[in-house]
């Protein structure tokens, strides 16, 4: 079994991202770069991180009209990311065009409901139903649009797996037992998410904000 942990290198400073990635490279299976890093460092930054030799997950959460998202996808194909995110709430046509524009070896996954949102937040933005309902609805739509999988919290990944047997499930919002949730509202442990069928475990601050990121990554890996 390959290591499912993708560490989230959430920093705008390239040297810090490189240092973090090198400090944990033996204990993670991939490196996730998000908006903070990409806006500050662009393609050059991604190329530098790629030199470490681990798969790159570009978590750009694209969300716009289909034409714009497809063009953005074409513009990042040269980086050959292993995984790219789009917001599933962008709709079926947007997801279809995103997948059609992506490179053959890139998995395109749809963000269903951010792990920083709970039932109360859903109601305030006008979504009906529970987080489970929303994740299932957007998992079905993502599958119909031809995506490879979804992003959801560990609370829903088991149910999503049942409705999409061969889907690819990316799970952030992970916290070791007694870990600080911070801005995350739907959290589970990495082990629970793995047991419920997560394909990728996205872990940021529990590793990157630890006093010793290498030993934090090692001890999380040991729980899997």
> Which residues contact ligand LLZGTKA7 (rule: CB under 6 A)?
8, 10, 34, 59, 111, 114-115, 151, 172-173, 184, 202-206
Decide if 162 is catalytic.
no
Closest separation in Å from C-beta 220 to ligand LLZGTKA7: 11
Query: Which residue has the closest beta carbon to ligand LLZGTKA7?
Result: 204
C-alpha 168/C-alpha 106 separation (Å) is 12
As annotated, the binding site includes 10, 32, 59-68, 115, 175, 184, 204-205
Q: How many CB atoms lie within 10 A of CB 161?
A: 18
**Residue 221 CB coordination number (10 Å):** 20
Tell me whether residue 138 or residue 145 sits nearer to ligand LLZGTKA7 (CB atom): 138
Find the shortest distance in angstroms from Cβ 150 to ligand LLZGTKA7. 10
Interatomic CA distance for residues 29 and 51, integer angstroms: 15
> For residue 160, what are the CA distances in angstroms to 54, 141, 163, 185?
27, 12, 5, 19
Residue of 202, 210, 169 whose CA lies nearest to 30? 202
In sequence order, what are the beta bridge partners of 8? Answer: 32
Q: Which C-beta is closer to ligand LLZGTKA7: that of 20 or that of 67?
A: 20
Measured from the CB atom, is 18 or 100 closer to ligand LLZGTKA7? 18
- Give me the catalytic one of 61, 107, 162, 165: 61
Is 59 in contact with 32 (CB distance < 8 Å)? yes
Residue 183 CB, shortest distance to ligand LLZGTKA7, in Å, is 7
CB of 111 to ligand LLZGTKA7, least distance (A): 6
Residue 66 vs 190, nearer CB to ligand LLZGTKA7: 190
Residue closest to 69 by CA, chosen among 46, 45, 47, 85: 85
Residues designated catalytic:
61
């Amino acid at each position: 079994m390959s290591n499912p942990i993708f560490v989230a290198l959430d920093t705008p400073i390239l040297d810090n991202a490189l240092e973090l990635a090198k400090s944990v490279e033996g204990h993670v299976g991939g490196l996730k770069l998000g908006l903070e890093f990409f806006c500050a460092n662009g393609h050059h930054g991604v190329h530098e991180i790629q030199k470490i030799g681990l798969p790159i997950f570009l978590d750009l959460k694209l969300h716009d009209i289909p034409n714009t998202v497809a063009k953005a996808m074409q513009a990042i194909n040269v980086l050959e990311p292993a995984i790219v995110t789009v917001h599933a709430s962008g709709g079926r046509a947007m997801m279809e065009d995103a997948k059609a524009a992506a490179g053959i070896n890139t998995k395109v996954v749809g963000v269903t409901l951010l792990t920083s949102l709970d039932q109360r937040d859903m109601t305030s933005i006008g979504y009906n139903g529970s987080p489970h309902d929303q994740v299932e609805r957007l998992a079905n739509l993502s599958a119909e649009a031809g995506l490879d999988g979804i992003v959801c919290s560990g609370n829903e990944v088991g149910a999503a797996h049942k409705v999409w047997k061969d889907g690819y499930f990316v799970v952030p919002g992970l916290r070791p037992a007694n870990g600080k949730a911070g801005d995350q509202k739907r959290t589970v442990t990495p082990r629970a998410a793995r047991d419920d069928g997560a394909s990728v475990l996205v872990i940021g601050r529990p590793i990157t904000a630890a006093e010793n990121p290498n030993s934090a990554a090692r001890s999380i890996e040991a729980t899997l």
